[in-house]
Amino acid sequence: QVQLQQWGAGLLKPSETLSLTCAVYGGSFSGYYWSWIRQPPGKGLEWIGEINHSGSTNYNPSLKSRVTISVDTSKNQFSLKLSSVTAADTAVYYCARCITIFGVVIMESWFDPWGQGTLVTVSS
Partner 1 sequence: QSALTQPASVSGSPGQSITISCTGTSSDVGSYNLVSWYQQHPGKAPKLMIYEVSKRPSGVSNRFSGSKSGNTASLTISGLQAEDEADYYCCSYAGSSTHVVFGGGTKLTVL
Site residues (CB under 8 A) for partner 1?
35, 43-47, 50, 58, 60-61, 94, 99, 101, 105, 107-117
Cβ closest to partner 1, residue 14 vs residue 25: 25
Cβ closest to partner 1, residue 54 vs residue 124: 54
From the CB of 78, what's the least distance to partner 1, in Å? 17
- Distance set, CA 96 to CA 79, 87, 103, 121, 122 (Å): 12, 24, 22, 20, 23
Cβ closest to partner 1, residue 45 vs residue 87: 45
DSSP codes, 36-64 = EEEE-TTS--EEEEEEETT--EEE-TTTT
From the CB of 37, what's the least distance to partner 1, in Å? 8
